[in-house]
Amino acid sequence: MIYPDTRRTDTVEEHFGTAVVDPYRWLEGDARGHVEVADWVRAQDALARAYLARLPGRDHFRRRLAELFDHARLTAPEKRGERYFFTRNPGLENQAVLLVREGPHGADRVLLDPNPWSDDGATALAEWAVSADGRSLAFATQEAGSDWRTIRVLDVESGDTLPDVLAWARFTTLAWARDGSGFFYARFPAPPEGNVFDAPVTDHSIYFHVLGTSQAEDRLVRAPPTGQLLIQTVSVTPDGRYAVIASTPGAGGNALAIIDLQDPNWTPRPLIQAYDHNWSVVGNQGTRLFLATDDGAERGKIVTLDLAATEPRFVELIAEREDGTLNDAALLGGHLLVTYLVDAKTEIRRHRLDGTPDGTVALPGLGTAGGFRGRPDDDEAFFVFTGHNAPTTIYRYAVARRLLTIWDRPEVAIDLERIVVEQRFYASKDGTRVPMFVVRRADLQTPAPTLLYGYGGYGISMVPYYSPAVLAWVEAGGVYAVANLRGGGEYGKAWHDAGRLANKQNVFDDFIAAAEYLKREGIASAEGLAIQGESNGGLLVAAVVNQRPELFAAALPGVGVLDMLRFARFTNGQFWIGDYGDPEKEADFRNLLSYSPYHTIRSGRAYPALLVTTADTDDRVVPAHSFKYVAALQSADLGDRPRLLRVDTRAGHGAGKPIGKALDELADLWAFAARWTGLAVEAAD
């Protein structure tokens, strides 16, 4: 294959006595304003799309993906007053629509439909929140996949958009004052003109906006200490008494402060000032707070704190479990409903407010449940249940009667009785026991082309969920596997810590061991294993390809962090130092250099086929990571298999991507993986 010409420079820098070559640094330029970068990206993308369009399975996957995605997808409703608010995508709309239902059995009314907001469907509804009386809606819009938000307000009764417009929100929550007079949100200072894409991420602050006023009048509630990089989120307790502010440097844990909103001064009261552990307020009864934490309990516990006490102290209410990891908790219907991960599967336990166990919530199968919606004094609660072979279903739970009923379940275009889900366990390089989910057709008994997915970072757990994309691959005769790698949160803080900073190689070892297990056990065919990951998972895929290229037939790193020596220089990359380390410190630098995908490509070895995907407006993991990595791949002697770059336009890191763009990308990914793993897609038609 003939790749586009890529200019190579003689850029070399010395770090701690080590010379680091960076010949493609010029590709860090923003393609939207840098002509040479733009021309290079167009040529690379044209080559990739021409190749992908010719693959025999591409049309099959595009058609079948559309059929499998064509079902209603809802979120659990938020009840405010007597109104129920939720989003719904009937199937193939580019963006979900926000609806309101008047009463439990009333008609649904469209409040916001983002689909006409742009010609290409790339303007999305992002965060939204409704006032306690159900009369006002604050909502954020997302343009072309960017992390930046613009916040507006809607009058629910009339459907009119109010004049309020708030700019420069990013990584924000929205939280209303109890009286509906306004709401809290988080934003950065306005970036320098012409520098929005790579604007600095300092001074992330909490503000309060009073309806009907200008943003310039918004009240500064809490700013970070001078020079400290923090992301801050805000919530308000359901009774409206307290605002809760969580502040985090990005990994490791968070500080916690609380504001008594009855005090006109709104002075933040620190509860936790260190960033060593995770803390969250899950509810309150008057001045008594219920909190979840992993401080002194690596798998999580529930404690209380009475703010009215002379000397407030944390009191353990629900102890840490040895066999489960605390994942979520909610105060609903006068009970605490606590969600645990048990080997990455959900279990929900009930507790009275004195901590006494009060049974469980019976779930319909192996999968993931959570996202509780409801009020502490209301018996009606809602949550979501999903699994690899269980479509995302909204359940209504009557807490006092322990009655679970279906509020909404979609009809899907596949016979799920044909799909089998197993959980396997395998040993990593150091003997650590790692779980893995394996999804395949029930009639598939022989080794088959397999797609292995992983992430392994930031304490994020890879839990079972319904994916039409996965089912398109499985239905065609492939196997899909998800490995629950260290670095995630499946087994609590220790599991996360075992896969970050100096321990990052454990994540790669876990993924490599998963690949070896799939082949050894006769699940994956000998020459038919592909791997996929996105963002931190894109780093994972690219790193293990460099370390063990012979294991894989194809690799699909998406929106990946691929230059580990310069990641902190772009957008919000400084917040990743807590998981990766600081390239400006020698010990961290040497660890990062040992696995940085851009720097550790092994010329002279046969590599798998590589399809690297990114987007031009990704302002979280900037596309320069992928550009530089692909340039380095294409210049190396890595065998005859293709090394391609696919770049979406007006698409960001993933959130808000129009369904049409998502289906096109998935069809390309699956057709590419099928071609190189030997999956005979035409036989599935």
Burial of 298 (0-12, 13-18, 19+ CB in 10 A): middle
Q: How far apart are CA 471 and CA 483, in angstroms?
A: 17
Both tokens assigned to 627: 């550009």
Query: Is residue 654 classed as helix, strand or coil in its secondary structure?
Result: coil
Longest dimension (CA), the chain: 74
Q: How far apart are CA 236 and CA 119, in angstroms?
A: 37
Both tokens assigned to 360: 């469980």
Residue 569: phi, psi to the nearest 5? -90, -10
Residue at token pair 């479990």: 321
Catalytic residue among 535, 599, 625, 626: 535
Q: What angle do CA 475, 477, 483 make, to 5 degrees?
A: 85
Both tokens assigned to 609: 């086929």
Convert 201-221 into a string of H (helix), E (strand) and C (coil): CCCCEEEEEECCCCHHHCEEE
**Residue 596 a catalytic site member:** no
Q: How far apart are CA 382 and CA 370, in angstroms?
A: 9
Both tokens assigned to 174: 């929205």
Q: What is the rounded radius of gyration, in angstroms, for the C-alpha atoms of the chain?
A: 25
Task: Give buried/exposed letters for 14-49 (b at 16+ CB in 10 A, else e).
Answer: eeeeeebebbbebbbbbbeeeeebeebbeebbebbe
Range 502-508, long-range pairs (CB < 8 A, 24+ positions):
502/581, 502/587, 502/591, 504/580, 504/591, 504/595, 505/594, 505/595, 506/428, 506/430, 506/432, 507/454, 507/456, 507/457, 507/540, 508/540, 508/543, 508/544, 508/547, 508/595
CB 87 within 8 A of CB 74: yes
Range 85-88, long-range pairs (CB < 8 A, 24+ positions):
85/111, 85/128, 85/130, 85/134, 85/137, 87/125
- For β-strands 524-534 and 448-453, DSSP reports them as parallel
Task: Give buried/exposed letters for 412-442 (b at 16+ CB in 10 A, else e).
Answer: bebeeeebebeebebebeeebebbbbbbbbe
Q: Considering only CA atoms, which of 537, 544, 536 is closest in space to residue 516? A: 544
> In whole angstroms, how far apart are CA 579 and each of 156, 334, 588?
42, 38, 11
**Residue 653 a catalytic site member:** yes
CB 399 within 8 A of CB 334: yes
Task: Give buried/exposed letters for 283-297 (b at 16+ CB in 10 A, else e).
Answer: bbbeeebbbbbbbeb
Convert 467-504 into a string of H (helix), E (strand) and C (coil): CHHHHHHHHCCCEEEEECCCCCCCCCHHHHHCCCHHHH
Could you tell me which residues are beta bridge partners of residue 340?
326, 347
Strands of 335-342's sheet in order across = 325-332, 335-342, 345-351, 357-361
Q: Give helix 659-677 / helix 58-69 axis angle, nearest 10°.
A: 140
A 10 A CB-CB count for 133 gives 15
Catalytic residue among 204, 388, 599, 653: 653
How far is CA 409 from its chain centroid? Answer: 24
Q: Which residues belong to the active site?
A: 535, 653
